[in-house]
Structure 1
């Protein structure tokens, strides 16, 4: 074996000793064709090994990096290729977004192309590099400096000597470890300035834009989360506000709008502002563990109180009223008939028998609890009146109790409590659904292939259904037949500002949403964010910050009901209608009687003339 081969094998052995984990991959070209088998056997002593001869397609390597197998553990990739092919390999890693903190790259080169590699890789591609020829190699590791630049720093050297025992042939001198875990590397950002994409969105992240265009945090749940992360990890942050004010929707070319688009394009390191985890977004960003969960609410205008013009009739159904009328009308003839039969067969004075109109009038008086002026002498009539009085008592008690409840407890139109109610309201009452454009609440409907989501989307009015902010959505509800669908907390706070009594929140929510921080693909600090977010939620900080936002909103409620109020003219409209109807009937009857009387007088005068003519 030549000295070069022996040096390379010794160097690989040294690097394998510094690697972590049990999964090793070798990428090589013709430079080491004669040494590939010895290197592979050497790597097999440390764990599982996969070999990838250099291929410009890189399909097999890409499948391995993106595969789910072993993604939870560190994987080590040793690259021994020419400088040109090594640079081409890292260009592919960046172009295909294959950077990941679960892979650490170990590169052996004959010439120093550290600056070239640093210019093509993204944060998340961790590289340890050995550069040298003959028997001496210098070692470099990549990291991101305070100026947000990827650079390589020399950490030591390694030399091989042809003499001495195998253990003494190498002499490494290092100031830092060849491999540092992500948790250790990013435990302290060293005052680095991180860029966070945001939109102005109370109660999660309220911002102020200064005259010079600088975006400053004002308040909000996510503002507190970001502030805490910065203090613990020692970084400051610069807010990057999105021009379109959107969270992030996928466009036809695969790019995203809004905050997700800022992270995807590299204009921001991460985005935090009530960002929902969705499948399409996960393809272009890495989400942290969720730190806030809520569901989507349906907000509609408070149901209007039902018309009380005929409230006095509401205690009974139409069938009951009809039966009362029939029963009342029949009781008069029934008692009159019984009285006349008794008078005929028992030889009573017919002058003592009351007329049908007397009986009918007193039957009605009893029904409305006005007493009875008749004093029947027979037990037959007394029995009929006794049962009728008891019947009237029951009817009056039921009517009075029910009417009291109807007049004192408001009755409202049927509210929209579920998606099924919304679908019916859209079909029968011309209600329209509203969603904020470019949010997950739009996507669950627009991407649905079946079920009630698709049925609602099929009826969606694209001209009048979109709104572009939460404030616009809540305000639009008060202008007509609209149902605004968005996350509960933000809708609740905006409704409180406009008077919560003006709105109705459906009893059933849907589409539970998890909010997290959207980091760039392969973000190496995501694991640190995950750990701190768990601590914040477990300590109740996120819940406290949420309650703080709710408490500081001044409610606009000034017209809510404090319980049953006094009975007004609205409640008694029907009573006055009855009086007016009575007056009208009386006037008509008076006119009728006048006409009839005039007709009779005229007829009598004619007859009188004829009689006088004969005499």
Structure 2
């Protein structure tokens, strides 16, 4: 026995039990109950007052000796809606140890009710455990009805001193005291008055009906109607309007239909008030919540709406096991920068162009060096009279060597070969001829590669300039935003510097269509899951298709000519698990998790996700088909190159005219009638 909080261990019996031997009978009924539960008990948490402390003596003590027990004895004046430190720590210890049986023996029903309210509000008590409590009408007040939608595995022990009308009579003394064991009427909804449901009768040391004491009440909900609040949000819930009829689909709708079929309930789907504006909902000034969360706090049984598995949502409701994980990223605008003017340099990367220029300069220099060496060799032979008359004639007129005799000419002819322009004549030097042949092979390979890359660039659409990482997003100086203050707080409390910078300029926005319009104007980046961003971008492109789910109160989506294309950032900011919501401490969650795990394992969730996103992806694929069309815009680079040539030519022309008029004509030796004499003097 551990985690014990004892007080008044030998207190006298309360006047409530005076003259009645209830304590002994209660001891034996608890022994029989624990015997019936012995296979499933992992730990017992006992909360009792001084009045019932003596029940744990004798047979009950010996029965619980092999089991871990956390015993908490509370004072009769202790307010269990705000328990003292010792009681609170003992309750936490019981929850941490995994106690799945709670025995609450409190003579004061109000004290027991306040304990349940405190344990449910702060999740100190495991509401899905098995509870054994004393029957008290004060537990069934209308203000406590919500508790019995959460604590359903409970037995109320009601003591009867004498049998009435043969209720307890199955032979023997009918005046023998007996216990009535009842439970909450789950799954039937509690109306204005709480009416418990009898489970069994304990009398003469045995159970009368021998029914299962804690049967699973969630396996068959007997076609009860459960309130399911939903929020339209791709891909979880999609509302498709067709004339006057609305059809609801999506991944979570399929999951809901599966759970309804297996657990036998009927979902009543509805939306919260002003769902388009409040969406998931936020905390109001009066402490209440709006939107979907507000409906869950008000009594809805399930919630559908792409709920993120986060501590914020877990504190307000229960979440199923995640059925998928979604990539949350930003919807960003594509840059309007047109790079068609760079068409001529796009086929090669920067380092390739550097290599081409270096090879051009180096090869031109080698050609020039070989030509000079060949010319000097001929001069040397001519000077030493070691060549024949034929050689002298060739030396006086070296064929082709003049092509590379000067540095500028050598570079120009080398550049001409790179452009596949043939030489005026073949050089006579064998060294130059061999180098020319191998250089031609290099030029052919280079030109073929350039032409192939150029053809691909002209045939395909121009490459898009996009934002694909958080660093690029921060450097772009775009305003970032999304829905809800929780998203803003997520970035502001980020541990990395980039996330904090995004949080500094994060702006919340309620209307996703308005957010998409801002993104199209190139001033905003919108944060959501990639599936919803795909749906939003396609919806903006195809506002007139039947799959549009836009409300009539919204303005028609108009795409202006200056609007940019929308792009989904390829890098994920974070991958977040997605779940279905249940009301706080819902008894439906354990069995629903079992069925959801099975649907995930067999691949149904993935199939439903593909089915939900198929119409959206199909529209986007059709719109983005690559068309190999040539237009004037793609040839901007050619016209720019021509314009640069014109510009440089005119500069050279005006330079020559200026030099002629300002320098040559003003020379004293200049004579326009004897130009040959002028140039001879210049030489």
What is the TM-score with the length of structure 2 in the denominator? Answer: 0.70
> 1:455 is matched with which residue?
498
In the alignment, does 2:594 pair up with 1:531? yes
Task: Point out where structure 1 has 5 or more consecutive residues left out of the alignment.
Answer: 161-168, 608-615
Q: Which of 530, 539, 544 does residue 488 from structure 1 map onto?
A: 530
Q: Aligned partners of 1:358 and 1:602: how far apart in 2?
A: 33
Q: CA deviation at 1:247?
A: 3.5
Q: Compared with structure 1, are the counterparts of its residues 245 and 224 closer, same or farther at alpha carbon in structure 2 (3 Å cutoff)?
A: farther
In the alignment, does 2:234 pair up with 1:202? yes
Q: Compared with structure 1, are the counterparts of its residues 32 and 372 closer, same or farther at alpha carbon in structure 2 (3 Å cutoff)?
A: closer
Q: Which of 253, 268, 272 does residue 223 from structure 1 map onto?
A: 253
Q: CA deviation at 1:34?
A: 4.7
Q: CA deviation at 1:199?
A: 1.7
Q: Aligned partners of 2:360 and 2:298: how far apart in 1?
A: 79
> 2:157 is matched with which residue?
130
Q: Aligned partners of 1:81 and 1:198: how far apart in 2?
A: 43
Q: Is the 8 A contact 1:423 1:456 kept in 2?
A: no
Q: CA deviation at 1:523?
A: 1.0
In the alignment, does 2:114 pair up with 1:75? no
In the alignment, does 2:319 pair up with 1:293? no
Secondary structure of the residue aligned to 2:610 is helix
RMSD: 4.5
What is the TM-score with the length of structure 1 in the denominator? Answer: 0.77
Q: CA deviation at 1:84?
A: 4.1
Q: Aligned partners of 2:569 and 2:605: how far apart in 1?
A: 25
In the alignment, does 2:603 pair up with 1:555? no
Q: Is the 8 A contact 2:329 2:568 kept in 1?
A: yes
Correspondence list, 1:521-600, <5 A: 521-553=584-616, 554-556=618-620, 557-562=622-627, 568-581=634-647, 583-585=649-651, 587-588=653-654, 591-592=657-658, 595=661
In the alignment, does 2:20 pair up with 1:7? no
In the alignment, does 2:184 pair up with 1:142? yes
Q: CA deviation at 1:278?
A: 1.0
Q: Which of 456, 474, 482 does residue 435 from structure 1 map onto?
A: 482
Correspondence list, 1:198-347, <5 A: 198-207=230-239, 218-233=248-263, 234-241=265-272, 243=274, 244-247=277-280, 258-263=291-296, 265-302=297-334, 307-313=339-345, 315=348, 317=353, 320-321=356-357, 324=360, 328=364, 335=371, 339=375, 342=378, 346=382
Secondary structure of the residue aligned to 1:121 is helix
Q: CA deviation at 1:38?
A: 3.7
CA deviations 1:265-307 (Å, max 9, x no partner) are 2342232221111123223322211212232244434467862
CA deviations 1:567-586 (Å, max 9, x no partner) are 94224234423542364256
In the alignment, does 2:152 pair up with 1:105? no
CA deviations 1:328-367 (Å, max 9, x no partner) are 4895697478547735862757985799799669753564
Secondary structure of the residue aligned to 1:152 is coil
Q: Aligned partners of 1:388 and 1:209: how far apart in 2?
A: 73
